[in-house]
A and B are shown apart, each in its own frame.
Chain A
Amino acid sequence: MQLLQTNSSNVSFLLFFGTLGMLVLTIALILFIIFHQRKVIRYQLKMQEMEAEQQKLLLKASIKLQEEERQRIAADLHDDAGPLLATARLYLTENLVNQEKAQQLQSIYNAKQIIDETIQLIRNISHSLMPPTLKNFGLESAITDFFQKINGSGSLNSNSRFYDYRTRLKPEKELIVYRIVQELTNNVLKHSNASFIHLTQHNNEDEMIIRLHHDGRGLTQEDFDKLNKSNVGLGLKNIKSRLKVIQGDILFEQDPSQSFFKVSIEVPKDDDEK
């Protein structure tokens, strides 16, 4: 009898606390799911905000760079082409008809010389906006040409090698890649104090990879990300926004021996570029 009562009270005890335990566990689980999801949403919102902020910075950098480019063109036209054309105008005044023939010929010759100089200047400005080699012969020729010019200056040893560029990228994509390479090379020239710069191009099935090696002071991916989030590093932001247009990627690395830096640009290819 006593044994039966003990069993019954044990069952009651188990039943009461078991039910209570299950209830607490279930409610805890449901609350955990609700709060965990809220946490995830908050995190996603924060990420979205950060991305929006980054976009804003990139847009600002892009606008600023565009303005600087316009100012440079305006300055070139105003400071160089303007005075040249004004000087040519001076040679070609109404008074020219009253002058002696030899003097007339001399003035016309001088004016022609100045106009030729102006034409060359405008051609240079135009070429800096859109390199003719790039337009006519493609990325490989334009980059090779660009690196030969750097090499010719004698300040550092530079060369480029394209392993497989039989199918050209679309012209607008080529221009973007060219500008990125130009910006990266300019950065190396300005800040790295490198003794060589070497560019290689490889082809994968879905993407083209361009690698830039140099032995100067360089950036790591962490530095690049940090500079992109700050208000400085206009050129780097511009690289990032250009890459965004072509949905490409960039990776800054230092080799394990710490003797040179490497920048890899991944350019995804469209179906007609494969």
Chain B
Amino acid sequence: MKWVCLLLIISNFSFDLLSSVESKQPIAAGDIISAKNDSNDSKTILLNISSGSLYEGVFIRTDSFYGTIKKIMPEHTRKGQATIEVETASQNISPAHFEAFSTLNILNISLLAELILTFLIFYLNFKHQSKWWSRITLIAIFLASLIWIARNIFVGNLYTYSSVYNGSITILIIFFALVFFYQQLKRPDNPFVYASPVFWIISAILIYKAGTFFLFLYGNTLEQSEKENFFIINSFFYIVENVLFAVAFLIRSKKLSPKKIDR
């Protein structure tokens, strides 16, 4: 169990590192041909794409402006050219060289790794307690992975973020955590639940997932400036999760004598 948790920590950390590297590598580049003001924070831009591909949700910038692609209009898209709607705070957009950046591909891959490892933790825990729940966890790993593959490879692509899919996975993880706690309440053989590393590992996962549930569900609808403010929540819960993981690693799994309890 601790090994899977360690893998989860390493995977999270590696994907964070990879994400910071990837954020400096443009996924597409080209030139802005013309721009039209739709409203104060929305512009329609005609682009000439010289390398890569553009996707909705991708960050785009030139020397004088930056914004997020809200919509790609297929009816106005020709070979090597694209018309996009951009959400931006910049007022004047002049023809210039642009670059597009996105780390959503890393985020999506990291979510797959995270869901497999998290469900594996639940499976390893349920394996000794309930055959029924361990089977359900295995089915959940299989189905969630299958949906991920279908959504990111066959139907969509790695550069799109689905809050519905990620929200559902989070609800499933929270549900399994609640099942774990319910089983702990029912089990009389291990009264000191907090003396076991599993308790801290599952608590860490539960706190992180519950804390960032609304953030990942509604984060996409926030404005760019607010997004940065609210992502502090993610950093905070990420730290809490890792602190609790550290507690799990520091705790020695032992059954304490009931007499040691403070009466």
Contact = CB atoms under 8 A, between A and B. Distances in A.
Nearest to A25: B210
A33 B184 contact: yes
B258 interface: yes
Given A15-B215, A45-B263, 12 more contacts: A8-B223, A11-B221, A12-B226, A19-B215, A26-B207, A30-B203, A33-B193, A37-B191, A41-B258, A42-B261, A44-B191, A45-B261
Contacts of B41: 4
Contact of A12 (B184, B191, B230, B259): B230
Interface in A22-40: 22-23, 25-27, 29-30, 33-34, 36-38, 40
Contacts of B221: 7-8, 11
Interface in B140-192: 178, 181, 184-185, 188, 191-192
B188 A22 contact: no
Contacts of A11: 218, 221-222
27 contacts: A1-B39, A8-B221, A11-B218, A11-B222, A12-B230, A14-B214, A19-B211, A19-B212, A19-B214, A19-B215, A19-B233, A22-B211, A23-B210, A23-B211, A26-B207, A26-B210, A27-B207, A29-B206, A30-B181, A33-B184, A33-B193, A34-B193, A37-B191, A37-B193, A38-B261, A40-B191, A45-B263
Contacts, number: 79
A132 interface: no
Contact of B185 (A4, A12, A36, A42): A36
Those 7 A-B pairs whose CB atoms lie nearest each other, nearest first = A18-B214, A22-B210, A26-B210, A41-B191, A15-B214, A11-B218, A19-B214
A96 to B, nearest CB: 74
| Majority-rule SS of B interface residues | helix
A52 to B, nearest CB: 13
Given A8-B223, A23-B211, A15 B218 contact: yes
B92 interface: no
A25 B258 CA distance: 28
A8 B233 CA distance: 17
